[in-house]
Structure 1
């Protein structure tokens, strides 16, 4: 064995931090003995949040607005579509309890922290299996490093994270591993990093991704992207992809009552439906009509006009369909209008400043969204605790100031149509790219208001997942887009200059050596109070760069459901983003007896009492 690896393994066994050189030498290593004195944690006594009244069975019928570009969970175009069913919503090693915030077991039964603040040890659940029946073992975590570090997956974020943030994985036996980070962090932050909702350290099934031949040096097929574009991978969750009708529908099927997760008390009485059917219905109004006919089981009413104007039809009045409004305390991700600084004119900060003050999000919320939504204080999101600056405040609409800034940028002349023109004859006009027709009135409002400053915003509607692909390829001028959020702000993926390229989340194409330095310092800093200060500095730099116009946030869910779709009481947890998303908390169920009763009542014209539930338990 190489001397450096021997020294490295010895340091791990002694509980000493000596990671830097050895961790890049192999995609995971083996060791024989665990350090002595580890304190194993399982937190198996937290309160349950599912219901003992839940019933198994039935098909949950829902829809998606467009068919996914791929069934892969990583690589080009994988950020949209069904990735949540293959990765984001699947078990991690551990998860936050949705109310108490304590870590509770998922794929791991217990965990322990090393004295170096870099190492976390995990005992895997020996009953855990992939949906194809293969066991989940430590080898799947060793393969995980090869998989995510491989250039063949064509995914720079994962390449970077699993090379520069994750040091290595150590296998002690088939069900015991250690994960070592490159930099020291508090125990809680290590757990956050390891168990990120969308990017956590999930095992990868080596038996499924085995290359066709031995010429693939890193163990990943050289033709990975094309080969797995429409092959559904096994999951560790309760559901697997059972059938696909391209462009039309997909069906996920439950693994069965012997799913390994039901041995964990936190998984009991969850994931209750036998099948999940997602149909492609591109028009939201058509989907709503299908729902009101009983062809879909639930329908989202977050949109103000749906809740206020479109939920008073006969099925609601007769109590066949119920309404639910529940508040949450979910961290809000980055978003609003992303300004592509690589596009002509948008590299000029005066133009970006003017555009920011010419964008009337507050008026849109009041006049188009009925005042139901809330303005984000900052373009990088909200709800990150002390990571957020206390003085973050979104820029108010000020067309006069915007006009002055545009004039400063050289757009001194106002054309016959009211739009500003510079001395080269360039009109002050930018396209806003977005993915759903329902957003058109919002952007149309911004368009009309922007004219007051001599700015033209044109609407560039691109269908669903294709819109995100368009944005990932950096074809947009302006992107109307909100991203998911975590409890620690994401900076590298959105702002680092290494991500100024296609197929990354740096939607602004912004590059700044000074900002890079702060982002790298943020990643490396151990002292939490200093990390807070660095985070504040980054947020101030982003504010001053005028690259994201802060948009809106929705701190609740509003949904309609047929009365046979049931849920625990109370229905909400602090972290419930959607009541009826089957691979998140999955605490709802379908009562087939109530479904039969409802169908019979509808035939006879018998009505029930109308029901609207407002759950404000977690309203801030």
Structure 2
């Protein structure tokens, strides 16, 4: 106790700028609204009944209970066993953090430090208190031993100090990154006593005792997980947890692929299922439980920032390092035909790295973008000062033109068709492999493969299991990979992990394309340091513009709708689901049906 007293006395002597007015919320912008952030989330049922069992499905397998390791495949839903300093406010486009393990946030006016006060009642599942020591341990272990992503995320955190048993101070290299204090509050807090003798970078076959609402009750490695809600959970009465974590137990069963998982759902082995395949949504649900209404189906539009999804071309591969080759390959991907043949014209093509977001670039650069580009004019392709590259129209009417243009681009890049095979100047054939873990995507790639074959290019589709897929993706061991880089409503530090040169050389980063461009590196840093909203908009739009001109991704498709189904006599969604999407932890068990009578109101209609 004497040691903590001395630390507290030293803290009191810190410069005045460190000590602002503590608040229970922390916003990205000074004008961020705080109304609506002092009670339960708006989308939940505050009177949701507790109890029952939620049965979910997962695809593939798992071999670790450590989600922070760069190795292994972590168990599904394991995040419900631990907690973060703060939790993001739901149902708003603003980036606002509310206290979870943290009771209050004290951000210096110049944003160079953040004092966080922990809730003294917080406890890990083994009864040990959550203290400043655990925060320090977690931060240091994340940047030293865990996935390299964390090191990049917290690169601008200079130090973390304990100011007392339940108070910590984060010091930042500068106050230019407005997002950094909020990112720090997204950090999990792990039990330092349990990790003694263990390495956070290693896969774990035993689950740690976290401070979260659930603990792992039992498991069969690779196939089944059973979590149970903690009766002694310290955070049950917090406003941010009201109406959430309602099930007494959560069971997750693993299946080889989506088709088998769907059949398990129809058989009643799973309570909830989210459908990503429009063909199966249209044709596969003609089963008794759907026809007689025991399973409810819902299609609901949910507008949110989508980012960019598609076939990422790995420029670490010599054949794909040439921009002209990437443009040619993009011309041979016929989205319009695929959308008609496979997706009933229900999908929309990604058209930006900030699709469905106000940060997306317009066709022509704005005055603010042009001003930013001037300093790099001698390093930029003159084309970026003009309109964005257009996505070519697909279909049979454009096939010849697209093939002709693609062939011209290949020839400009030093490739030619010789005896029916596309070869380079050394006579080496162009052979590409697309890596996937989805059997359903195999058929989607067939038309793309056929288009490439017409120009003498071999495209192999390599289907691997989940473990191998994750391992190869982390090591960038692929030519092409179908993935999606999601964007938030406030782009910031994560852009380093997506597009920077450092991330391109960091195993496990999200820079799948391997982009290494000094201009993009500088621009990402300026985006992170944007002092005002209008600056952020301009810098994000320019980032989008340069990425589109770089042609690193063949844009694929997304759906504006979420398509979900559930056994209605087992689980019930919250009333405000439309505003936040599926927050499965805010669902609850379905109460027993009351006897029907002539005056009963009709039930709410779902899609059947």
Whether contact under 8 Å (1:429, 1:457) holds in the other structure is: yes
Q: Does the C-alpha gap of structure 1 residues 62 and 40 become closer, same or farther in structure 2, counting only changes over 3 Å?
A: closer
- 4+ residue segments displaced more than 6 Å: 8-11
Q: Does the C-alpha gap of structure 1 residues 363 and 71 become closer, same or farther in structure 2, counting only changes over 3 Å?
A: farther
Whether contact under 8 Å (2:81, 2:216) holds in the other structure is: no
User: Which aligned pairs between 1:399-410 and structure 2 lie closer than 5 A?
Assistant: 399-410=403-414
Shift of 1:415: 4.0
Structure 2 CA distance for aligned equivalents of residues 315 and 135 of structure 1: 47
Structure 1 CA distance for aligned equivalents of residues 114 and 250 of structure 2: 36
Whether contact under 8 Å (1:184, 1:525) holds in the other structure is: no
1:268 and 2:242 aligned: yes
The residue aligned with 1:112 is: 106
What does the per-residue CA deviation read over 1:5-57, in whole Å, with 9 as the maximum and x for residues that have no partner? 99x979953206xxxxxxxxxxxxxxxxxx26556658314653221452222
Structure 1 unaligned blocks of 5 or more: 17-34, 212-220, 598-608, 616-620
Whether contact under 8 Å (1:185, 1:527) holds in the other structure is: no
Structure 1 CA distance for aligned equivalents of residues 570 and 176 of structure 2: 43
Whether contact under 8 Å (1:322, 1:611) holds in the other structure is: no
User: Which aligned pairs between 1:486-497 and structure 2 lie closer than 5 A?
Assistant: 486-489=488-491, 490-497=494-501
Whether contact under 8 Å (2:432, 2:458) holds in the other structure is: yes
Name whichever of 87-96 and 517-526 sits farther off.
Answer: 87-96
The residue aligned with 2:255 is: 281
TM-score (norm: length of structure 1) = 0.80
The residue aligned with 1:194 is: 184
What does the per-residue CA deviation read over 1:198-253, in whole Å, with 9 as the maximum and x for residues that have no partner? xx222122111113xxxxxxxxx5x5544x43232233321222222123212122
Whether contact under 8 Å (2:108, 2:114) holds in the other structure is: yes
Q: Does the C-alpha gap of structure 1 residues 399 and 90 become closer, same or farther in structure 2, counting only changes over 3 Å?
A: farther
The residue aligned with 1:440 is: 442
Shift of 1:613: 2.2
Shift of 1:91: 4.1
Q: Does the C-alpha gap of structure 1 residues 454 and 126 become closer, same or farther in structure 2, counting only changes over 3 Å?
A: same
Structure 2 unaligned blocks of 5 or more: 1-6, 26-33, 364-387, 395-401, 596-601
The residue aligned with 1:159 is: 151
What does the per-residue CA deviation read over 1:540-587, in whole Å, with 9 as the maximum and x for residues that have no partner? 2222222222222333321111122333453524332x35x3xxxx11
What does the per-residue CA deviation read over 1:504-563, in whole Å, with 9 as the maximum and x for residues that have no partner? 322122222232222233334434433433333322222222222222233332111112
The residue aligned with 1:25 is: none
Name whichever of 421-430 and 264-273 sits farther off.
Answer: 421-430
User: Which aligned pairs between 1:332-343 and structure 2 lie closer than 5 A?
Assistant: 332-343=306-317
1:173 and 2:172 aligned: no
Structure 1 CA distance for aligned equivalents of residues 40 and 49 of structure 2: 23
Q: Does the C-alpha gap of structure 1 residues 475 and 39 become closer, same or farther in structure 2, counting only changes over 3 Å?
A: closer
Whether contact under 8 Å (1:365, 1:371) holds in the other structure is: yes
Structure 2 CA distance for aligned equivalents of residues 289 and 432 of structure 1: 28
User: Which aligned pairs between 1:358-397 and structure 2 lie closer than 5 A?
Assistant: 358-378=332-352, 380-386=353-359, 388-391=360-363, 395-396=391-392, 397=394
Whether contact under 8 Å (1:170, 1:179) holds in the other structure is: yes
1:535 and 2:540 aligned: yes
Whether contact under 8 Å (2:333, 2:448) holds in the other structure is: yes
- Structure 2 residue corresponding to 1:554, chosen from 538, 551, 559: 559
User: Which aligned pairs between 1:474-513 and structure 2 lie closer than 5 A?
Assistant: 474-489=476-491, 490-499=494-503, 500-513=505-518
Q: Does the C-alpha gap of structure 1 residues 406 and 552 become closer, same or farther in structure 2, counting only changes over 3 Å?
A: same
- 1:285 is paired with a residue whose SS is helix
- 1:385 is paired with a residue whose SS is coil
Q: Does the C-alpha gap of structure 1 residues 144 and 95 become closer, same or farther in structure 2, counting only changes over 3 Å?
A: same
Shift of 1:405: 0.8
Whether contact under 8 Å (1:98, 1:573) holds in the other structure is: no
Structure 2 CA distance for aligned equivalents of residues 366 and 508 of structure 1: 28
Structure 1 CA distance for aligned equivalents of residues 344 and 82 of structure 2: 32
1:519 and 2:509 aligned: no
Structure 1 CA distance for aligned equivalents of residues 190 and 390 of structure 2: 41
